[in-house]
Amino acid sequence: MKSRWNDEDAARYVEAARAAGQSEALGLRIYTSRIIGGDPDLVLHGGGNTSVKVTSAGGETLMHIKGSGWDLDTIEAPGLPAVRLEPLLETRNGPKLSDPDMVSLLRASLIDADAPNPSVEALLHAFLPFAFVDHTHATAILALADQPDMRETVRRIYGERLAYVPYVMPGFDLSIVADRIYREHPGCEGLWLENHGLFSFADNARTSYELMVEFVTMAEKELARAGVMLSGPQPSDGEEDPALRARLEKALARGGSPFGEGVFLDYRSTVAIREHTSIEDVEAIGLRGTITPDHVIRIKPWPMIVAPDASEDAINTSLDAYAERYRAYFARNATRTSEPKHMLDAYPRVVLVRGKGMYALGANARAAKIGGDLCEQAARAINAAEAYGRFKPVGEADLFDMEYWSLEQAKLQVASK
């Protein structure tokens, strides 16, 4: 991975911030957020988050943090709302906060009451004692983070530069655990989040960004050392069968469909996708879960799989089997939660065509394209993870908690608007 930092571009963002009456630091934060978001092998569609701490004209410390509903590649100043830092720091040694209480605190700490909700990981950004904090879901990192028992491997690759954080649900709990681990490793330059992603941080915008690039490059080199060459995003170059699309559209439009007036299908057939869909036990691999937990809210826990010549009856049978599996998944997990859950629709968001390609499904073209982009990344990450060792994402219970997490559902609703 190469750094996209450019001094002239950075200077333009600084000058634009000054002209708008904003701090130079915010201008640099917008710039590095955009070059992070512009690399699909770092983040995709709302994934990841960034922050910067600044001092207001009145001497108060504020933190600009990515707001829900914004993508890093197109972010502007309103997408990095400012919050007062002190109330957030006070939670470090206070009682556990529920999700609604955490959101209420974050909203109460906003400088602009009409700003979007700060990221659910805002507390962790606040606790880290650095001006700039970057968080991504890089493809190479996920290929390694979704492996069993990686603590010693991470130590071998990064030494003391990264502190290892076992998987914890994002939000308040992750903030507390990751902060404790950081303080146990005060010299580290980043956090490795099991099954989740990577944090880097520094008091300089360029340093924090280029640490992220360096750490991802080290992951790529570890994969290469094991003989695994992780390619970048690939173009869709495989032919689609129009007749299969028509049969899928007809089957997906039957009664009870969540897609409203019609389903939108985004077809992808890349080298990596064809390799993935040709794996004999691809169904068992798909049932393990998504490459990073928050993808579940867009593409469901697993794909539906059909043959390239599947008839309409066969597709309907697959839809029925998918729904039955999904209802059983919901029933197993909903009973252990502390609050009542209402089941979402039991329709797939990804249809895998054996040996050929993948369809991402959505209620509109944008939702389908987002799903397609996630599928393209997932195919490359899972192929690399399986070639390196064994793809092992978070378990079913953790995946359910993410899919039915009220905060993530709220974020998806904001994005849809």
Q: What pLDDT tens digit does each residue of the chain (417 aa) get?
A: 999 999 999 999 999 999 999 999 999 999 999 999 999 999 988 789 999 999 998 999 999 999 988 999 999 999 999 999 999 999 999 999 998 899 999 999 999 999 999 999 999 999 999 999 999 999 999 999 999 999 999 999 999 999 999 999 999 999 999 999 999 999 999 999 999 999 999 999 999 999 999 999 999 999 999 999 998 999 999 999 999 999 999 999 887 788 877 899 999 999 999 999 999 999 999 999 999 998 999 999 999 999 999 999 999 999 999 999 999 999 999 998 878 888 999 999 999 999 999 999 999 999 999 999 999 999 999 999 999 999 999 999 999 999 998 766 555 555 555
Q: Is residue 236 part of a domain?
A: no
Q: Is residue 232 part of a domain?
A: no
Q: Is residue 376 part of a domain?
A: yes
Q: Is residue 234 part of a domain?
A: no
Whether residue 247 is found in the same domain as residue 381? yes
> Which helix (H) or strand (E) is 37 found in, with range?
helix 24-37
Q: Is residue 331 part of a domain?
A: yes
Residue 408 has what pLDDT? 61
Q: Which amino acid is at 59?
A: G
Whether residue 120 is found in the same domain as residue 210? yes
Residue 417 has what pLDDT? 52
Whether residue 205 is found in the same domain as residue 287? no
What span, in angstroms and rounded, lies between the C-alpha atoms of 398 and 96?
Answer: 19
Residue 411 has what pLDDT? 53
Last residue of a domain, one of 192, 225, 258: 225
Residue 341 has what pLDDT? 86
Whether residue 108 is found in the same domain as residue 157? yes
Whether residue 187 is found in the same domain as residue 273? no
Q: Is residue 1 part of a domain?
A: no
Whether residue 178 is found in the same domain as residue 274? no
Q: What is the CATH number of the domain that holds 57?
A: 3.40.225.10
204: helix, coil or strand? coil
**β-bridge partners, 360:** 266, 350
Last residue of a domain, one of 191, 225, 259: 225
Q: Is the pTM for the entire model greater than 0.85?
A: yes
Whether residue 401 is found in the same domain as residue 252? yes
Annotate 45-92 with DSSP letters as a single string.
Answer: TT-SEEEEEEE-TTS-EEEEEPBTT--GGG--GGGS-EEEHHHHHGGG
Q: Which amino acid is at 151?
A: R
Q: Which of 325, 344, 329 is nearest to 256 (CA)?
A: 344
Range of the structural domain that residue 216 is part of: 7-225
Whether residue 210 is found in the same domain as residue 247? no
Residue 74 has what pLDDT? 95
Q: How many domains, the chain? A: 2
Q: Is residue 2 part of a domain?
A: no
Annotate 298-327 with DSSP letters as a single string.
Answer: HH-SS-EEE-TT--HHHHHHHHHHHHHHHH
Q: What is the CATH number of the domain that holds 281?
A: 3.40.225
Q: How far is C-alpha 368 from the geometric centre of its chain's CA atoms? A: 16
C-alpha separations of 153 from 115, 136, 149, 398 in Å? 41, 20, 8, 23
Whether residue 25 is found in the same domain as residue 139? yes
Instruction: Report pLDDT digits (tens) over 310-364.
Output: 999 999 999 999 999 999 999 999 998 878 888 999 999 999 999 999 999 999 9
Residue 254 has what pLDDT? 81
What span, in angstroms and rounded, lies between the C-alpha atoms of 413 and 417?
Answer: 7
Q: Is residue 78 part of a domain?
A: yes
Whether residue 269 is found in the same domain as residue 209? no
Last residue of a domain, one of 225, 258, 276: 225
Whether residue 290 is found in the same domain as residue 174? no
| Cα maximum dimension of the chain | 68
Contacts of 278 (CB under 8 A, 6+ apart): 354, 355
Residue 9 has what pLDDT? 98
Sign of CA dihedral 113, 24, 123, 299: positive
Residue 415 has what pLDDT? 54
Whether residue 55 is found in the same domain as residue 83? yes
